[in-house]
Amino acid sequence: MELDVTANKPVPSLRGERRRKEWGAHAALLVFCFFTLAPFLFVLNNSFRSTVEQQRAFFGLPSAFVNMWSKEPVEVLDENLQRTLIPAEQCFSYFLNEATRGYQLAREVLHDYLLNTLEVCLSVALGVVIMGSVVAYLLARYRFPGSRFVYYYIIATMMFPAVLMLVPSYMVVRELGLLNSFWALFLPYLAGGQVFAIFVFKGFFDGLPEELFESARLDGAGHFNLYTRIVLPLSKPVVSVVAIMTILGAWNNFMWPFVTNTDGSFHVISSGLFVMTRTPVAQNMGTLYAAYILSSLPLLLLFIAATKPFIQGITSGAFKA
**Binding residues among 80-119 for another protein as defined by CB under 8 A:** 80-81, 83, 101, 105, 107-112, 114-115
Q: Which candidate, 85, 89, 84, 47, places its Cα nearest to that of 69?
A: 89
Q: Give the residue, chosen from 90, 93, 97, 307, that forms a contact with another protein under the rule CB under 8 A.
A: 307
Q: Which of 96, 122, 187, 232 binds another protein (CB under 8 A)?
A: 187
CA distances from 84 to 47, 184, 304 (A): 25, 51, 45
Q: Residue 151 interacts with another protein (CB under 8 A)?
A: no
Q: Name the H helices within 156-254.
A: 162-175, 182-207, 210-218, 223-225, 232-234, 236-252
Rule CB under 8 A: choose which of 1, 76, 216, 226 binds another protein.
76
**Is residue 161 a contact point for another protein (CB under 8 A)?**
yes
DSSP state of 278: T
Determine, following the binding rule CB under 8 A, whether residue 162 of this chain makes contact with another protein: yes
Q: What DSSP assignment string belongs to 22-60?
A: HHHHHHHHHHHHHHHHHHHHHHHHHTTS-HHHHHH-SS-
Three-state DSSP at 301 gives: helix
13 binds another protein (CB under 8 A): no
Positions 14 through 43 that interact with another protein (CB under 8 A): 15, 18, 22, 25-26, 28-29, 32-33, 35-37, 39-40, 42-43
Residue ranges in 119-138 that form contacts with another protein under rule CB under 8 A: 131, 134-135, 138
**What's the min distance (Å) between Cβ of 92 and another protein?**
20
Question: Quick one: how far is CA 216 from the chain centroid?
Answer: 37
Among 71, 89, 209, 304, binds another protein (CB under 8 A): 304
Closest of 172, 140, 171, 136 to residue 154, by C-alpha? 136
Give the nearest distance from C-beta 215 to another protein in angstroms. 21
CA-CA distance, 271 to 244, in Å (whole number)? 20
192 scored as a contact of another protein (CB under 8 A): yes
Using rule CB under 8 A, residue 12 touches another protein: no
Q: Which amino acid is at 176?
A: L
